[in-house]
A and B are shown apart, each in its own frame.
Chain A
Amino acid sequence: MTATVSTVHVWSGIAISVVQVIALVLGAPLALGLMAKVRARVEGRVGAPIRQPLLDLRKLLTKERVHAEHASAALPIVPFVVAASVVVAVAISPLISTSPALSESADLLVVVSLLLAGSVALAIGGLDTGTAFGGMGASRAMTIGALAEPALLVAVVALAIQAGSTNLPAIVAGTLAHPAWAASPERLLALGALSIVVLAETGRLPVDNPSTHLELTMIHEAMVLEYAGPDLALVTVGQAMRLGLLVALIANLFFPWGVATSFSPAAIAIGLVALGLKVTVIVVVIALVEVRTAKLRLFRVPELLAGGFVLAVLAVVTGLVTR
Chain B
Amino acid sequence: MTLLLLGLALGALAAAAAALPVHLRVPVSCLLVAGACVLAFLGAVAELRSGHVSTAHTAALLPMNGIELRLDPLAALFIATTAFVGFAAAIYSIGYAHGPLRSRTAVVSFALFVTSLLCVPAASSVATLLFAWEMMAVTSLLLLLAEHRRRAQALDAARWYGAMTQAGAAAILLGLLLLAAHSGGQDFTAIRAHAPSISIPIRSIAFVLVLLGFASKAGAVPLHVWLPRAHPEAPSPVSALMSGAMVSLGIYGIIRVGGDLLDGGVLWWWLVVLALGVVSALYGALHATASSDLKRLLAYSTIDSMGLVLIGVGAAGALRTTGHPHAATLSMVAALFFVVAHASFKGCLFLAAGAAERATGTRDLDRLGGLARPMAATTVLFCVAALAVIALPPFSGFAGEWLLLQGLLHGFSDTSTATVIALLVGVVALALAAGLTAVAFVKALGIGFLGRPRTQGAAEAREVAPTMRLAMGILALPCLLLGLVPGLVIPMVARAANAGFALPSASPVVPGAGLDLSGFNGAIEPALLAIAIVAGLGAIWMTLRVVANRATRRAEAWGSGREVQTARMQYTATAFGEPLQRVFTDVLRPDNDLEVTHAAESRFYTQAVTYSNRVDDAVERSLYRPVISALAWWGTVARRAQNGSVHRYLAFSFVALVIVLVVLA
Contacts and interface: CB of A to CB of B under 8 A. Distances in A.
A11 B558 CA distance: 46
Contact of A147 (B547, B551, B582, B583): B583
A263 interface: no
B442 interface: yes
Residue of B424, B526, B575 with most chain A CB atoms under a 10 A cut-off:
B424
Contacts of A229: 548-549
B446 A2 contact: no
A142 interface: yes
A222 to B, nearest CB: 10
Contacts of B452: 70, 130
Interface in B438-458: 438-439, 442-443, 445-447, 450-452
Contacts of A91: 532, 536
Given A68-B556, A129-B557, A146-B438, A107 B524 contact: yes
B548 A135 contact: no
B639 interface: no
Interface stretch (B94-102, B243-251, B537-545, B655-663): B537-545
Interface residues of A, number: 87
Given A128-B451, A134-B571, A65 B579 contact: no
B558 A143 contact: no
B412 A146 contact: no
Interface string A54-90: 0000000111111111111110000011011101100
A82 B531 CA distance: 16
B418 interface: no
Contact of A226 (B438, B540, B547, B557): B557
Contact of B430 (A72, A153, A233): A153
A283 to B, nearest CB: 25
Interface stretch (B11-19, B490-498, B514-522, B642-650): B514-522
Contacts of A113: 391-393, 398
Interface stretch (A32-40, A98-106, A273-281): A98-106
B435 A146 contact: yes
Q: Which of A80, A139, A166 counts the most chain B CB atoms within 10 A?
A: A139
A225 B514 CA distance: 39
A170 interface: yes
A264 to B, nearest CB: 24
A131 B569 contact: yes
B451 to A, nearest CB: 4
A112 B455 CA distance: 37
A268 to B, nearest CB: 20
A149 B443 CA distance: 17
Interface string A152-176: 1110010011001111001000000
Interface in A121-137: 123-124, 126-136
Given A101-B532, A149-B432, A109 B580 contact: no
B512 interface: yes
What does DSSP make chain B's interface, helix, strand, loop or mixed? helix
Contacts of A154: 427-428, 431
Interface in A1-24: 1-2
A69 B567 contact: no
A236 to B, nearest CB: 13
A232 B510 CA distance: 43
Interface string B502-537: 000000001010101000111111101100110011
Contacts of B369: 130
A136 to B, nearest CB: 6
A316 interface: yes
B570 interface: yes
A123 B390 CA distance: 13
A192 interface: no
Interface string B352-390: 000000000000000001101100100100000001001
Contacts of B63: none
Interface stretch (B33-41, B252-260, B401-409, B630-638): B401-409
A2 B523 contact: yes
Contacts of B149: none
Contact of A299 (B510, B565, B579): B579
B560 interface: yes
B435 A148 contact: yes
Nearest to B532: A88
A128 B446 contact: yes
Contacts of A160: 409
Contacts of B446: 123-124, 126-128, 135, 138
A101 B427 CA distance: 29
Contacts of B391: 113
A139 B549 contact: no
Contacts of A68: 554-557
A179 to B, nearest CB: 20
Contacts of A152: 431
B514 A130 contact: no
B434 interface: yes
Contacts of B579: 139-140, 143, 298-299
B578 interface: yes
A83 B540 contact: yes
A145 B450 contact: no
A102 B529 contact: yes
Contacts of A71: 557
B553 interface: yes
A1 B516 CA distance: 7
A68 to B, nearest CB: 4
Interface string B419-438: 01000100110111011101
B558 A133 contact: yes
A130 B427 contact: no
A302 interface: yes
A268 B289 CA distance: 46
Contacts of A124: 442, 445-446, 450
A166 B404 CA distance: 13
A315 to B, nearest CB: 11
A188 interface: no
B441 to A, nearest CB: 8
B438 A142 contact: yes
B547 A130 contact: no
A87 B523 contact: no
Given A61-B548, A128-B450, A102 B555 contact: no
A62 B546 CA distance: 11
B571 A145 contact: no
B559 interface: yes
B622 interface: no
Contacts of A131: 557-559, 565, 569-570
A1 B521 contact: yes
A139 B523 contact: no
A64 to B, nearest CB: 4
A69 B555 contact: yes
B576 interface: yes
Contacts of B428: 150, 154, 313
A92 interface: yes
Contact of A127 (B405, B451, B520, B565): B451
Given A105-B523, A166-B405, A299-B579, A66 B571 contact: no
A69 B412 CA distance: 53
Nearest to B427: A157
Contacts of B442: 120, 123-124, 127, 138, 142
Closest 7 CB pairs of A and B: A135-B571, A127-B446, A149-B435, A146-B435, A72-B372, A153-B431, A165-B521
9 contacts: A62-B549, A72-B372, A84-B536, A123-B446, A124-B446, A142-B576, A230-B548, A316-B427, A320-B424
Given A101-B532, A110-B393, A143-B579, 4 more contacts: A127-B442, A131-B559, A140-B579, A166-B405
Interface of B: 289, 369-370, 372-373, 376, 379, 387, 390-393, 398, 401-402, 405-406, 409, 412, 420, 424, 427-428, 430-432, 434-436, 438-439, 442-443, 445-447, 450-452, 510, 512, 514, 516, 520-526, 528-529, 532-533, 536-537, 539-541, 544, 547-549, 551-560, 565, 567, 569-571, 575-580, 582-583
